[in-house]
Amino acid sequence: MSAAVDDAQQARFAWACFALAGFIFACCLPARASDDTPFVQNEWRFGTRQDGSTLHYCVDERDPDLPVARKIGVALAGALLLEPKEHVVGEDWSGEEIEQIYQVLLETCDVFLGFKLIPDAYPDWLTITRGYYRSSYVFVTAQKGWQSLADVPRAQVIGGTIGTSADMRLIQYLEALKPTERWTHYPIASDEAALHDVVDGKLAAALVWAPSFWALQKREPAFAKLRTIGLRPLPDAQADVGAVMLTRETFLRANLDQAIAALTKDGSIAHILKELAFPATPVP
Amino acid sequence: MSRRSLKSLMLAATLLTGLSAPGFSQAIVNLTPKNATVQNFKPVTDAMLLKPDPADWLLWRRTYDGWGYSPLDQINKDNVKNLRVAWTWSLTPGATETTPIVHDGVLYVFNYADKVQALNAATGDLIWQYTRALPQKLLTEGGQFLGKRNMAIYQDKLFVATSDAHIIALDAATGKVVWDHATGDWTQGWRYSGGPLIVHGKLIQGMTGCGNAEPGGCFISGHDVNTGEELWRVWTIAHPGDPNESTWNGVPLESRFGASAWMPGSYDPELNTVYYGTGQPYPWIAEMRGTLPKKDGFENNALYSDSTLAIDPDTGKLKWYHQYLQNDTWDLDYVYERILVDLPINGETRKALITTGKLGIIEAIDRVNGQWLWAKETVPQNVVQSFDPKTGEKVISVSAIPHIGQTTVNCPADPGSRGWPATAYSPKTQLLYMPLNEFCSKTTPVPLDPGQAYTGGGRAIFDRTPVPNSDGNIGRVDAVRLSDRTQAWSHRQRAPETSAMLPTGGGVVFTGTLDRYFRAFDDTTGQVLWEARTNNSINGFPITFMANGKQYVAVATGNGSSEMRSLGTLTPEIGTPDGGSVLWVFALPDK
């Protein structure tokens, strides 16, 4: 272990002790929802958690980065000198998910991993930590000769997962072109549906989240023949991923940010990403 | 041991514990009603639905024409000031947008999370109760979709659209389940928030929740009232083979979402036609869903969103449609009540269908063929610049169209200058009574992907603000003369309007507000004749009925409705209790 990492770990230990004391104190503060929070039936039932020495973190079983999130949850708890307690959510979730996120944060976990840092995408009652990894959207195609979107003939149809930040940027780019210079673009319901459309030849290329492609390729043999190509002429479509928590948890937020910084600096996050061959890098 | 048996044992244990606790020996009362059957139940016939007894409230808006009007006049302009609480009944806390049904002295009410109760309409005594065993996931998630706006009654059955996307028939006398038909897969987001309409032996029901990555949009289905069997289905989004399939700008069916049919319809027996409204396409922002910019060779008005669908109730044939808002990119539903009324237009009487979308624009079409007749604006709005005088097609203000990366100002915006609380028409005054709200919004499209599996509908941020030069009043009740489209009166107040309208033969109009006031207006002048402050926001459809020769007025209060909570952001000083859903029943004091 290098001296630089030693120093970083010592510093991490020092503030982690302080963080632990603060976390235990913060857990005892009464919870009070602000008026603009989602309506949760019988919200009074959700009191403060009494086990102040545990970091309860949620992961969504539908997330492509689930293996990464699990390891990062453990690492974060360790950095804060807390016991890790994982809660897997998302099975059969339906409906208005912003309400579910609120309820989960009230009822189950201190922090919910796996959210992109997107400006103005979160309501006031929800805050997001600094990112712990950076990944990107990629174009996926079955064609061997293409190196980037620029190589895809304009007569071809491309798609993007509906409503993603990358697809929104793609739409903006296409609208800036003359109609005759545009690719025909369709919004697709999900990353998985978009990849199936590429396999089936309905789309020449699809813009999907790289971690989704990573996870779906492991699961679906038909996607083995697909490959990524560059975004050019589009700029990079990167996004940092962090964890959300209730905005009122200011102390926890500050300490999680420091913990992420420390885990980044000492190489722990890079190690997790490399171990899983996950298509992402630590956030500098 | 079955789950139900285990529950029973636990209840018994609880009772035993309670009975042995000090001070509880007299407190355990009547957990099971002594008389769990409606005595001498009179089956509801087609004739009754066609011409309901004024004492009853059998349909969502009392009559097939959607008027929401009652001819009862025992409570009138002179004595309404004496109105008192007759009885109250606590409902399950949660979104409470319910419309009770009253038949022959029995009041049936839907509670949040699918509990149905039959109560003595004069006393509030419980007769029977049915609680649906909903999947735990749905109960844990909660949310407003566990509320329902109405049920239906026909013959000896009460019909309920459930939160897990089933339609069930209960024995109206006992509450026992007669049949249970699964229509959609709730785990994929299909759900019901409105209830059924019964038309001569057919049950008609609109589906919602069709934005959760479920392709092909929503539908309206017709069912056999005796079995629940699905007889027909009308898709609210044009599918391949439909003559309007090309209206989605080339977007494949798998990527077309929305057009929820989340409110019940109306029915014209003479034309044997039911009329249903539809909501907007998903996601709300047209650029995100691919219907902007328009592609060569396609239309992009996204049929059959924001339309009236005229449907044959026997066959499910779509007779015609009229679209009010093409390619909606604001979340401005046109899904609400259809009021069927004959009106003088250019010297002749036309069979009109009146509806008002979230824009607050009253629009009349001919209910024989869907031909547009006229429009009347009410609240300030900046989305529609003008109307084509022949077709009613709207010229949209370009500056009001949201674009990715920009913030636009829209008046009104989500949740609309009117939401699900229904307007009503009085044949006595020939006025349309409207619960309205004035506001604007700074609208910013935002991506759907904060969480990686975030698949909810939408999506945009609505930063709601008062209208320019507002005097601070948000809520408003308008009375509009349909014959000449003039305003008869307008009552304005700070608190948003959060309940439907109820005009009566006694010359009073009932409605309620976010700040817990239930009011009676003079139907011709708008003067407030009476008001009562309740426990929570007035958030249901008020009804009136007779029991034992006495007229009652009932309305449900509660919190949890997203429309109410959204409007509440405009008046942050008005606090509302988190819980406390209650059915309030008012009557005049005995002489």
What DSSP line would sit under A67-86, residue for residue? Answer: HHHHHHHHHHHHHTT-EEEE
In this prediction, residues B414-419 reach a mean pLDDT of 94
| Geometric angle at alpha carbon B4, from B3 and B6, rounded to 5° | 65
Domain that holds residue B376: 42-587
- pLDDT tens digits along B425-441: 999 999 999 999 999 99
> In which band, very low, low, confident or very high, does the pLDDT at B451 lie, cut at 50, 70 and 90?
low
In this prediction, residues B258-281 reach a mean pLDDT of 96
Higher pLDDT, B462 or B557: B557
Cβ contacts (< 8 Å) between B114 and chain A: which residues? none
Give the closest-approach CA distance of B268 to chain A in angstroms: 34
pLDDT at A4 over 60: no
Q: Which residues contact B354 (CB under 8 A, 6 or more apart)?
A: B338, B339, B340, B341, B362, B363, B364, B425, B432, B482
Instruction: With respect to residue B2, please indicate whether it lies within any of the assigned structural domains.
Output: no
> In which band, very low, low, confident or very high, does the pLDDT at A175 lie, cut at 50, 70 and 90?
very high
Question: Which residues of B belong to the active site?
Answer: 331
Amino acid at B238: A
Interface predicted TM-score of the whole assembly (ipTM), two decimals? 0.84
Residue B17 token pair:
């514990």
Residue of A nearest to B462 (CA): A123
Residue-level pLDDT at B26:
33
List all residues of chain B from 159 to 218 with a beta carbon under 8 Å from chain A: 186-189, 191, 209, 212-213, 215
Alpha-carbon distances of B539 from B181, B380, B490, B515, B527, rounded to whole Å = 29, 24, 21, 11, 22
Residue-level pLDDT at A182:
94
Cβ contacts (< 8 Å) between B560 and chain A: which residues? 39, 41
- pLDDT tens digits along B505-539: 999 999 999 999 999 999 999 999 999 999 999 99
Alpha-carbon distances of B197 from A19, B193, B337, B368, B545, rounded to whole Å = 59, 13, 12, 20, 20
pLDDT at A48 over 90: no
Instruction: With respect to residue B24, please indicate whether it lies within any of the assigned structural domains.
Output: no
Q: How many CB atoms lie within 10 A of CB B319?
A: 17
Instruction: With respect to residue B87, please indicate whether it lies within any of the assigned structural domains.
Output: yes
Alpha-carbon distances of A8 from A12, A264, A265, A271, B210, rounded to whole Å = 6, 10, 7, 16, 51
Q: Which residues contact B94 (CB under 8 A, 6 or more apart)?
A: A41, B112, B113, B142, B144, B146, B147, B558, B560, B581
Closest partner residue to A165 (CB to CB) among B290, B447, B579 is: B447
Q: How high is the mean pLDDT of chain B?
A: 91
Residue-level pLDDT at B27:
33
Q: Which residues contact B116 (CB under 8 A, 6 or more apart)?
A: B108, B109, B110, B129, B130, B131, B151, B158, B160, B170, B175
Give the closest-approach CA distance of B252 to chain A in angstroms: 8
Give the N- to C-terminal CA distance of chain B in Å, as an integer: 56
CATH code of the domain containing B165: 2.140.10.10
Domain ranges of chain A: 3-133+241-275, 135-238
pLDDT at B401 over 90: yes
In this prediction, residues B319-348 reach a mean pLDDT of 97
Q: Which residues contact A12 (CB under 8 A, 6 or more apart)?
A: A79, A259, A262, A266
Q: Chain A contact for B134, CB < 8 A? A: no
Residue-level pLDDT at B456:
43
Gap between the Cα atoms of A272 and B7, Å rounded:
46
Q: Which residues contact A154 (CB under 8 A, 6 or more apart)?
A: A181, A182, A183
- pLDDT tens digits along A207-216: 999 999 999 9
What number of H helices and E strands is found in chain A? 8, 10
Which ranges of B119-270 does DSSP label H, i.e. alpha helix? 136-141
Residue-level pLDDT at A93:
67
Domain A135-238: top CATH class: alpha beta
Residue-level pLDDT at A94:
58
Gap between the Cα atoms of B96 and B538, Å rounded:
9
Residue-level pLDDT at B212:
61
Residue-level pLDDT at B16:
34
Gap between the Cα atoms of B278 and A53, Å rounded:
52
Q: Do A163 and B448 touch (CB under 8 A)?
A: yes
Cβ contacts (< 8 Å) between B255 and chain A: which residues? 162, 186-189
Q: How many CB atoms lie within 10 A of CB B161?
A: 28
> In which band, very low, low, confident or very high, does the pLDDT at B213 lie, cut at 50, 70 and 90?
low
Q: Chain B contact for A187, CB < 8 A? A: yes
What number of H helices and E strands is found in chain B? 5, 39
Query: Strand order in B152-154's β-sheet?
Result: B152-154, B157-161, B166-171, B177-182
pLDDT at B3 over 50: no
Instruction: With respect to residue B428, please indicate whether it lies within any of the assigned structural domains.
Output: yes
On whether the CB atoms of residues B557 and B126 are closer than 8 A, the answer is no
CB pairs under 8 A between A and B: 165
Q: How high is the mean pLDDT of chain A?
A: 86
In this prediction, residues A216-244 reach a mean pLDDT of 95
Closest partner residue to A95 (CB to CB) among B141, B453, B575 is: B141
Virtual torsion, Cα B178, B184, B188, B191, nearest 10 deg: -70
Which ranges of B208-250 does DSSP label H, i.e. alpha helix? none
Gap between the Cα atoms of A83 and A51, Å rounded:
10
Give the closest-approach CA distance of A266 to chain B in angstroms: 27
Q: What percent of chain B has pLDDT over 70?
A: 92
Higher pLDDT, B321 or B561: B321
Give the closest-approach CA distance of B7 to chain A in angstroms: 21
In this prediction, residues A94-112 reach a mean pLDDT of 82
In this prediction, residues B549-564 reach a mean pLDDT of 94
Lowest mean pLDDT among B105-109, B134-138, B379-383: B134-138
Cβ contacts (< 8 Å) between B213 and chain A: which residues? 189-190, 193
In this prediction, residues B547-571 reach a mean pLDDT of 94
Q: Which residues contact A40 (CB under 8 A, 6 or more apart)?
A: A33, A46, A99, A102, A103, A106, B142
Cβ contacts (< 8 Å) between A64 and chain B: which residues? 452
Strand B424-426 relative to strand B431-437, pairing: antiparallel
Q: Chain A contact for B450, CB < 8 A? A: yes
pLDDT at B82 over 60: yes
Gap between the Cα atoms of B310 and B368, Å rounded:
9
Q: How many CB atoms lie within 10 A of CB B34?
A: 7
Cβ contacts (< 8 Å) between B295 and chain A: which residues? 184
Q: Chain B contact for A133, CB < 8 A? A: no
Closest partner residue to A163 (CB to CB) among B251, B447, B569 is: B447
Gap between the Cα atoms of B539 and B555, Å rounded:
8
Cβ contacts (< 8 Å) between A184 and chain B: which residues? 250, 295
Q: Do B446 and A118 touch (CB under 8 A)?
A: yes
Q: Do A168 and B405 touch (CB under 8 A)?
A: yes
> In which band, very low, low, confident or very high, does the pLDDT at B540 lie, cut at 50, 70 and 90?
very high
Gap between the Cα atoms of B159 and B174, Å rounded:
13
The DSSP secondary-structure symbol of B448 reads S
Residue A248 token pair:
């009122």
Q: Do B578 and A44 touch (CB under 8 A)?
A: yes
Nearest to B244 by CA among B206, B299, B189: B299
In this prediction, residues B2-15 reach a mean pLDDT of 34
Residue-level pLDDT at B182:
96
> In which band, very low, low, confident or very high, does the pLDDT at A105 lie, cut at 50, 70 and 90?
very high
What DSSP line would sit under A92-137, residue for residue? Answer: T--S-HHHHHHHHHHHT-SEEEEEE--TT-S-TTEEE---SEEEEE
Gap between the Cα atoms of A264 and A261, Å rounded:
5
Q: Do A95 and B213 touch (CB under 8 A)?
A: no
Higher pLDDT, B1 or A208: A208
Nearest to A162 by CA among A133, A143, A136, A186: A186
Length of chain B: 591
Q: How many domains does chain B have?
A: 1
Give the closest-approach CA distance of A137 to chain B in angstroms: 12
Gap between the Cα atoms of A212 and A65, Å rounded:
8
Q: Do A167 and B145 touch (CB under 8 A)?
A: no
Residue-level pLDDT at A15:
47
* Structural domain A3-133+241-275, CATH architecture: 3-Layer(aba) Sandwich (3.40)
Lowest mean pLDDT among A9-18, B254-263, B362-371: A9-18
Beta-ladder partners of B167:
B161, B181
Nearest to B208 by CA among B217, B197, B199: B217
Cβ contacts (< 8 Å) between B453 and chain A: which residues? 60, 62-63, 90, 93
Q: By three-state DSSP, how is residue A276 classified? A: coil
Lowest mean pLDDT among A255-259, B293-297, B379-383, B580-584: B293-297
On whether the CB atoms of residues B437 and B567 are closer than 8 A, the answer is yes
Instruction: With respect to residue B32, please indicate whether it lies within any of the assigned structural domains.
Output: no
Residue A129 token pair:
């930590």
Gap between the Cα atoms of B251 and B260, Å rounded:
18
Mutate to test the interface with B, among A32, A34, A37, A41 (most CBs of B within 10 A): A41
Instruction: With respect to residue B542, please indicate whether it lies within any of the assigned structural domains.
Output: yes
